[in-house]
């Protein structure tokens, strides 16, 4: 009976009109649907095109608002000043081109290869200011562009997987306390005759960098995998030989190899060395010239 009623009134037993039937003088048609595959392809194409534009913007950062490069003479009483990087730019009271390249690419000096002697010997008073506050990674990209423009710098980047020593906390735990927030690190001087203090760093990332500069002192590069944050008084004490050099100044010679560092790190800091593999970047300096005039 319900089926007959549906046929007579143009409605199904469920109260809905069957598709393709006449209802009050109108023809109901099955709506056309877009295949799911086409939607997925369009979405993938949109993401691909959007993603392809991102690297272009990253590779072409806005230039510095102003860049000043002047010769800086280093002498007995004139030493290079600190390097400052902040949203307003980069300022260095005496820095070599080699060090500027390391800053621009976020590497240690030992990761920079090639280059003429002057790139590591001549110092410059370098100042570059941004037109608007910028994050540090953007400032470093801007520095690359400035070096290419003013020094004619061309480099080659290589990334490879190399063996390394990872700094990890020893099973017995760390042997130096963490500094209270706001307290500045202080590095005590040696108290025993014939002893030298070195490494003076406030973070374990800084200690790893110290062990790699100017060359890997452990035979392989060191990386920080302690997972420790905050500030510490990180100082290593070792026996050293003090001798007066030809210029009359005292020279201090302390051990700097794996045989010394492995037990010293464990006994004095509670840090062990663990073999690992890391991605390592090297920058090869292909060409550069003296900077153009301001």
Per-residue confidence (pLDDT) for residue 186, from 0 to 100: 82
Rounded to two decimals, the pTM is 0.61
127 and 202 fall within a common domain: no
Same domain, 190 and 273: yes
In a domain? residue 232: yes
The reply to whether 174 and 267 lie within a common domain is yes
120 and 229 belong to one structural domain: no
CB distance 165 to 275 below 8 Å = yes
* Residues of the domain holding 168: 162-281
Residues 268 and 169 in one domain: yes
Q: Note whether 141 and 217 are same-domain residues.
A: no
> Rounded to whole angstroms, what are the CA distances from 55 to 51, 135, 165?
8, 17, 33
Report whether pLDDT(36) > 70.
no
**pLDDT digits 0-9 by tens, 38-59:** 554 555 454 444 443 333 444 5
Annotate 151-202 with DSSP letters as a single string.
H--EEEEEEEEEEEEEEEE-TT--SSPBPPTTPPP--PPP-STTEEEEEEES
**31 belongs to a structural domain:** no
The count of structural domains within the chain is: 2
Upstream peptide bond of 214 is cis (omega within 30 degrees of 0): yes
Are 116 and 224 part of one and the same domain?
no
Residue range 61-118, pLDDT digits in tens: 789 999 999 999 887 667 777 788 999 999 998 999 999 999 999 988 889 999 999 9
What is the per-residue pLDDT for 50? 43
């Amino acid at each position: 009976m319900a089926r007959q009623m549906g046929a007579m009134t143009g409605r199904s037993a469920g109260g809905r009109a069957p598709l393709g039937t006449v209802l009050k003088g109108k023809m109901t048609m099955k709506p056309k649907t877009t295949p799911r595959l086409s939607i997925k392809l369009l979405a993938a194409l949109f993401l691909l095109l959007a993603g392809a534009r991102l690297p272009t913007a990253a590779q072409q950062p806005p230039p510095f608002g102003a860049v000043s490069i002047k010769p800086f003479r280093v002498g007995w009483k004139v030493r290079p000043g600190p390097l400052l990087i902040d949203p307003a730019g980069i300022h260095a009271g005496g820095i070599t081109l080699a060090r500027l390249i390391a800053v621009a690419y976020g590497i240690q000096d030992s990761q920079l290869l090639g280059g003429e002697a002057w790139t590591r010997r001549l110092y410059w008073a370098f100042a570059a200011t941004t037109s608007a506050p910028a994050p540090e990674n953007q400032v470093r990209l801007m520095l690359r562009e400035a070096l290419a423009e003013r020094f004619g710098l061309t480099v080659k980047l290589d990334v490879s997987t190399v063996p390394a020593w990872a700094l990890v906390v020893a099973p017995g735990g760390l042997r130096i306390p963490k500094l209270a927030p706001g307290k500045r690190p202080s590095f005590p001087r040696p108290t025993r005759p014939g002893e030298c203090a070195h490494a003076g760093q406030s973070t374990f990332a800084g200690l790893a960098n110290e062990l790699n500069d100017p060359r890997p002192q452990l035979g392989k590069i060191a990386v920080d995998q302690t997972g420790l944050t905050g500030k510490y008084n990180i100082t290593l004490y070792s026996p050293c030989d003090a001798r007066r050099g030809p210029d009359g100044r005292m020279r201090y010679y302390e051990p700097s190899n794996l045989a010394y560092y492995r037990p010293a790190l464990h006994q004095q800091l509670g840090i062990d060395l663990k073999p690992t593999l890391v991605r390592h970047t090297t920058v090869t300096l292909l060409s550069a010239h003296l900077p153009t005039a301001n």
